[in-house]
Amino acid sequence: MYECLVDGEISRYVETTNRGLNYGDGLFETLSVMRGRPRRWQAHMDRLGAGCERLGLPMPPQAILLRDVQTVSAGLAATVVKIVLVRSGNGRGYSPSKVSSCVRIVSAHAYPQGLAHNAEKGVNARICKLRLAIQPALGGMKHLNRLEQVLASSESIGDDHTEGLLLDCENHLVSAISANIFLVMGELLLTPRLDQCGVRGVLREQILKAFGSRCEQRRIMVDMMTEADEVFICNSVRGVVPIVSIDDLEYPVGPVTREIQSWLEKCEAS
């Protein structure tokens, strides 16, 4: 980690009473920042705002968050910036106080290596054993309760190059552990609805907006994956990554995935 601000002050510490630590009572965003410019900033802010509204947290002004992001990424060509918003209060008693405020933690991290290689060649994937719980009160939200993702990641310790895919407890496909997923069927782009679990990724939203007429958000049973022509995953830092296998199924890196990658490249260059 390069630098970290807590409520705008340089610090690497939070209090042990922090409600994020004690309950996971908060939200986060992970941004790709290029020469001080966060990509998809408004989409990140919109999602954070929607999460704040659902949790009853007051959203800090965007200008303050942007200043924090620019401070921690100053002088860096490419960096990942994580914003964590936690409800203020002490760590005993679940009940939030009547008037909530937020602690904001903004930190810069090394940009991952090998992204271009993965985007070109694709990655292998496996279906995780862990099934995501169905919880409409939290579905789609990028909140801090991430034990399911930790447990799913633990299934393949030592095999970091295989992407874990998550199904819910009714065996619907939801996402990769930290990316959204699309199945390509002909010209059609199918992606799971995320009203019951999973995280509504900002790049997923951007794809849904740009390719709306060809996209469908729906429940995807696991056996539909045999019918897909192509599969790709996406997240804000990693971009669009082809999936070349899921367990024993193999997929080509096909023209639709390449089309979305080209579109993204143009978006990010502008």
In this structure, are residues 107 and 10 in contact, taking their beta carbons and an 8 Å threshold? no
Q: Which residue has the tokens 């992204």?
A: 115
| DSSP letters for 83-148 | EEEEE-S-SS-SPPPSS--EEEEEEEEEPPS-HHHHHHH-EEEEEEEEEEPP-TTTTB--BS--HH
Binding mask 24-63 for a second copy (x = CB under 8 A): xx--x--------------------------xx-------
Binding mask 71-100 for a second copy (x = CB under 8 A): ---------x-x-x-xx--xxxxxxx-x--
Residue 118 is a binding residue for a second copy (CB under 8 A): no
Candidate residues 76, 130, 199, 241; the one interacting with a second copy per rule CB under 8 A: 130
Candidate residues 178, 191, 206, 235; the one interacting with a second copy per rule CB under 8 A: 178
Candidate residues 64, 77, 133, 210; the one interacting with a second copy per rule CB under 8 A: 133
Contacting a second copy within 198-237 (CB under 8 A):
none
Compute, in degrees rounded to 10, the torsion defined by CA atoms 140, 146, 148, 154. 130
User: Shortest Cβ distance from residue 87 to a second copy (Å)?
Assistant: 8
Residue 146 phi, psi dihedral angles, 5° rounding: -125, 25
- Piece of 42-50, 139-147, 181-189, 256-264 that binds a second copy (CB under 8 A): 139-147
- Residue number, 69 or 256, with CB nearest to a second copy: 69
Number of other residues whose CB lies within 10 A of the CB of residue 176: 25
